[in-house]
Structure 1
Amino acid sequence: MTNEGKEDNKNEKSPSVRPGVLKIMQSIIAGAFGVQSDKRRQEDFSSHSPLPYIIAGLLFTVGFVVTLILVVKLVLSGQ
């Protein structure tokens, strides 16, 4: 028995592996700025469930809008 079969299995990614929080955050931010690679996008869409990406996207959007509102209020209060 050789180690070649074992090495091939290490390089293959199983689609049932859940993405980590950091990977989800990186995908959401890259997607928001439009700089996500095609390879990463395909990995995201082949993920087990779209729910973590949907929730993270909504949280990012709410946080972004709240940040913009606070910055505008801060700038306008200084005038």
Structure 2
Amino acid sequence: MNRKRMVDVIQSVLASAFGVQKSENYHRDVQEGRPSQYITAGIIATVIFVLSLIGIVELVLYFN
């Protein structure tokens, strides 16, 4: 997978997570992409999101 394709996967995952994925991009992803790419990127994005929330809560509790 080349670099541009990885960027496309990341953009699609983030757009889907925020609910702003265009219908045409969704259909393109389903036709062109491999599910494993999107599943892996989604899991990584979710882990980063959860860890950042935990970090923010820890900071708030530390300074409270």
TM-score (norm 1): 0.73
Aligned length: 61
For residues 78 and 22 of structure 1, do their structure 2 counterparts lie closer, same or farther at Cα, with a shift above 3 Å needed?
Answer: same
- The equivalent residue for 1:61 is 46
Percent identity for Structure 1 against Structure 2: 39
- The equivalent residue for 1:38 is 23
Considering only aligned residues, what root-mean-square deviation do their CA atoms show, in Å?
A: 1.1
**Matched residues in 1 for 2:33 and 2:48: separation?**
26
TM-score (norm 2): 0.90
**Matched residues in 1 for 2:51 and 2:27: separation?**
30
Decide which structure has greater helix share. 2
For 1:57, give the aligned amino acid.
G
